[in-house]
Amino acid sequence: MIIREINTGDIKQIQIVRNSVTENTLSNPNLVTDKDCEAFITVRGKGWVCEIENRIVGFAIADLKENNIWALFIDPKFERKGIGQKLHKTMMDWYFTQTKEKVWLGTAFITRAEIFYRKAGWKEVGTNGTNEMKFEMTYTDWVKSPNH
């Protein structure tokens, strides 16, 4: 298992992972374009992939412009192997070396992602639109987190 920075050559594979998930699915896969992905990993923030046997099986992207976790997705065939935790830690450690601003994310209600973020120390702060709950993480909470 290799965790490394995303590069633009990875976009096609991360799109495959993004569209393979069974929770937090996109209503229309065309809503997140390759150009969007490129902007988030080259201009707005940074991302990481997990590779197993030269195949991307998960990825995470942090957005410094909106202080947001834009993506953390694992291919369903590779869930429950600690990949999400490793990507999350890598991303969060990097984020808080760039800024001490709190970071937020949205995830669907009653999902494994919701449980994952709660266990990781994220605090629920309301809703993001009508279909998601909103979580925040402060620098102080991250530093105190057992996942840090």
Tens digits of pLDDT across the chain (148 residues)? 999 999 999 999 998 898 776 666 555 455 677 888 898 899 999 999 999 999 999 999 999 999 999 999 999 899 889 999 999 999 999 999 999 999 999 998 888 899 999 999 999 999 888 788 999 999 999 998 877 7
Q: Selecting from 3.40.630.30, 2.102.10.10, 1.10.3720.10, 3.90.1640.30, what CATH number does the domain 2-144 have?
A: 3.40.630.30
Encoded tokens for 98: 């760039």
Beta strand spans in the chain (E) = 2-5, 45-52, 55-63, 68-74, 103-108, 123-128, 132-137
The full set of domain ranges for the chain reads 2-144
10 exposure class (CB count in 10 Å sphere: 0-12, 13-18, 19+): buried
